[in-house]
């Protein structure tokens, strides 16, 4: 018996599939076309749910190591003083998305959990290939630690959090902080993370269900980030965490992925390798759902379960 998509999720995704029917997807390497298409979809998803009124935000600027100013946005819930905080990195395959597109998403996480979040507007490939995105992400973590007292944050209770490419960045920042003996990370929250540049060959069992992020999209993202090194033998784990040889000493991890997601195998493998290295892991494999399904099918039962798990993870450190 083969895979089937969750019925509620399939109903929610059907209009998007119908709109895409008959269109020709952009070729591998066409970043500009993907930015237009995906950023329109992200904006639609972000606006489909109400933005909480009990969350306030404010922007800060930091100067990166190469002298570039970078925006950070600090979100807090009115009346909440938990002492926790998370540093958030948005998705987008390393090539698209920006801080403003995820404003509602982050606000909803903060409203539901009470945990303040610092959203980092890291630079994207191909204009800014590796190591710029991960160094930007790490700089955001360092900034939060350096400013923890003024923000009412306990430096021992800071997590890194991201989805898709942002989940990959959260994993990479965790490795970087360990290796540099940098800021303490209380938890890494990896939502359907993009971890492995070698994942470019379609799986025929998954192909009928893949739409929101394909292997051609994945190949485009990794090539933009790594150039000709993508898929080769000399890729840094700070770019592709699946390349990490030694997982010992990394922060406790929450990892989730859908069974119809092209990142399924790399996420399963990473969770197993962390566990074998003695890292506490909570792992969820959700049957019947593809990549980033929850933003569109947010009323589906499985999306509600997924969201509850993320909120619990944000309250767990």
Given the residues 90, 130, 145, 291, select the one marked as catalytic.
291
- List the one residue out of 107, 95, 312 whose CA is nearest residue 220: 95
Active site residue 291: yes
Please name every residue paired with 86 in a beta bridge, in sequence order, or none if there are none.
Answer: 117, 159
Compute CA 114 distance to the chain's CA centroid, rounded to the nearest angstrom: 20
Q: Any alpha helices (H) in 213-292, and if so which ranges? A: 215-226, 264-276
Given the residues 164, 216, 217, 267, select the one marked as catalytic.
164
Structure tokens, 14: 């059907």
Active site residue 44: no
The Cα–Cα gap between 187 and 195 comes to 17
Dump the DSSP string for 175-211.
Answer: HHHHHTT-S--SEEEEES----TT--S--TTTGGG--
Give residue for tokens 């600027």: 61
Structure tokens, 206: 């998954």
Give residue for tokens 């489909």: 48
Given the residues 261, 267, 286, 294, select the one marked as catalytic.
261
Active site residue 286: no
Q: Which helix (H) or strand (E) holds 211?
A: none
Q: Any alpha helices (H) in 163-263, and if so which ranges? A: 165-179, 215-226
Catalytic center residues: 164, 261, 291
């Amino acid at each position: 018996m083969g895979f089937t998509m969750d019925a509620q999720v399939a109903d929610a995704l059907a209009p998007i599939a119908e709109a895409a029917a008959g269109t020709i997807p952009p070729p591998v390497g066409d970043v500009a076309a993907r930015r237009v298409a995906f950023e329109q979809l992200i904006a639609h998803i972000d606006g489909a749910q109400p933005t909480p009124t009990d969350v306030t935000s404010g922007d800060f600027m930091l100067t990166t190591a190469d002298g570039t100013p970078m925006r950070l946005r600090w979100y807090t819930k009115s009346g909440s003083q938990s002492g926790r905080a998370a540093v958030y990195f948005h998705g987008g395959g390393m090539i698209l998305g920006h801080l403003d597109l995820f404003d509602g998403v982050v606000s909803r996480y903060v409203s539901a959990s009470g945990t303040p979040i610092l959203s980092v507007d890291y630079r994207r490939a191909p204009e800014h290939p590796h190591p710029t995105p991960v160094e930007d992400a790490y700089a955001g973590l360092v900034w939060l630690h350096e400013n923890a007292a003024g923000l009412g944050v306990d430096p021992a209770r800071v997590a890194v959090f991201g989805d898709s490419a942002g989940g990959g960045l959260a994993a990479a920042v965790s490795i970087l902080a360990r290796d540099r003996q940098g800021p303490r990370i209380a938890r890494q929250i990896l939502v359907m993370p993009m971890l492995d540049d070698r994942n470019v060959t379609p799986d025929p069992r998954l192909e009928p269900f893949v739409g929101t992020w394909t292997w051609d999209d994945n190949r485009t993202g990794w090539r933009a980030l790594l150039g000709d090194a993508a898929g080769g033998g000399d890729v840094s784990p700070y770019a592709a965490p699946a390349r990490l040889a030694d997982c010992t000493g990394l922060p406790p991890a929450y990892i989730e992925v859908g069974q119809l997601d092209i990142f399924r195998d790399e996420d399963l493998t990473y969770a197993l390798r962390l566990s074998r290295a003695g890292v506490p892991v909570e792992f969820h494999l959700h049957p019947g759902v593809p990549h980033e399904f929850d933003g569109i099918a947010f009323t589906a039962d499985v999306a509600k379960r997924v969201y509850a798990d993320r909120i619990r993870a944000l309250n767990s450190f």
